[in-house]
Amino acid sequence: MTDIFEVATATPTREAALELAESAIRASLAAGGQVSGPVVSFFWHDGQFGQGEEWKVSFKTTEARYRDLEAHLMANHVWSNPEVTAVPLVRASASYVEWVERVTTQHVANDG
């Protein structure tokens, strides 16, 4: 079975979240993505405690496409040091795994 990851980041605005999601999905770096929010976040930044609203963006991709997706998110994010995390899915239906794999390899095959 192909390893499937759920990759997450957050943005300061809905518009920034939508742009990241659309650009990553159009590039076939992930098979699908969701934008949710706003969520209230509490954090330390530059030695100061902060609180703010953020929009969460999550993606489903394969282990093979993770590095490309991460690079895309880092290059296109509005923050200079955004959080980008990945969690492997322990279980997923065979048809879902096949779909994620097919969608994320389709663009690569078309480029080659």
Tell me the average confidence (pLDDT) per consecutive run of 10 residues in the chain, 112 residues long: 92 98 97 97 94 98 97 97 96 95 76 41
17 class by beta-carbon count within 10 Å (0-12 exposed, 13-18 middle, 19+ buried): buried
Residue 111 lies in a domain: no
Phi, psi of 75 (to 5 degrees): -75, -25
Residue 50 lies in a domain: yes
Residue 75 lies in a domain: yes
Helices (H), 1-112: 14-26, 63-76, 94-111
Residue 91 lies in a domain: yes
Rounded Cα–Cα distance for residues 69 and 32 (Å)? 12
Bridge partner list, 9: 57
Residue 112 lies in a domain: no
Residue 29 lies in a domain: yes
What pLDDT score does 112 carry? 39
Long-range contacts of 33-37 (CB under 8 A, 24+ apart): 33/57, 33/58, 33/59, 33/60, 34/58
What the block records as the tokens of 83 is 């959080």
Domain with 56, as residue range(s), is 4-105
Residue 12 lies in a domain: yes
Q: Tell me how many domains the chain contains.
A: 1
What pTM, to 2 d.p., does this model score?
A: 0.90
CATH of the domain at 57: 3.30.70.120
Residue 58 lies in a domain: yes
